[in-house]
């Protein structure tokens, strides 16, 4: 019976934390983005984010993105500097191919910093990928 249950693997959907210039505050901000690098649209996209390390934890945030077209991206949230010292987790669920997909992205504590930046082509920004 268990062998008959198909658990779909979420591929080509990513979460990155990118650094970008904030013109209003004249400072660099860290923003979390979801990227749909699939060849088809994904629907009912939901992202749940939280930060934690030992007894420190942030509020759990829920973001309804809705529909994301193929090869697109959407901003999830601003990530404050203090939160980057914690382990940051983003849990993504979405529908595609008439199936429910889910994937967890974890950024270890202190991993989001300028030394770990790499080019994220679809965003035209530099960012950090999860482990």
Please report the pLDDT score of residue 131 as a whole number: 82
User: Which residues neighbour 22 within 8 Å (Cβ) at sequence distance 6 or greater?
Assistant: 28, 29
Structural domain total, the chain:
1
Read off the pLDDT of residues 90-125 as tens digits, 9 standing for 90 and up. Answer: 999 999 999 999 999 999 999 999 999 999 999 999
Q: Report the CATH number that the domain containing residue 46 is assigned in CATH.
A: 2.60.40
Range of the domain at 40: 2-128
Please report the pLDDT score of residue 8 as a whole number: 85
Read off the pLDDT of residues 25-83 as tens digits, 9 standing for 90 and up. Answer: 888 999 999 999 999 999 999 999 999 999 999 999 999 999 999 999 999 999 999 99
* Burial track 21-39 (b if 16+ CB lie within 10 A, e otherwise): eeeeeeeeebbbbbbbebe
């Amino acid at each position: 019976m268990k062998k008959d249950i198909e658990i779909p693997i979420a591929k080509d959907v990513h979460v990155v934390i990118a650094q970008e210039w904030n013109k209003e505050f004249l400072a660099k901000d860290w923003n979390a983005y979801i990227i749909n690098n699939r060849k088809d649209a994904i629907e009912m996209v939901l992202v749940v984010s939280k930060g934690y390390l030992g007894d420190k934890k942030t509020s759990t945030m829920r973001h309804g993105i809705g529909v994301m077209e193929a090869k697109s991206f959407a901003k999830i949230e601003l990530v404050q500097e203090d939160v980057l010292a914690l382990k940051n987790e983003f849990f993504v669920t979405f529908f595609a191919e008439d199936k429910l997909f889910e994937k967890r992205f974890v950024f270890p504590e202190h991993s989001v910093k300028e030394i770990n930046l790499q080019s994220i082509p679809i965003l035209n920004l530099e960012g950090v990928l999860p482990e």
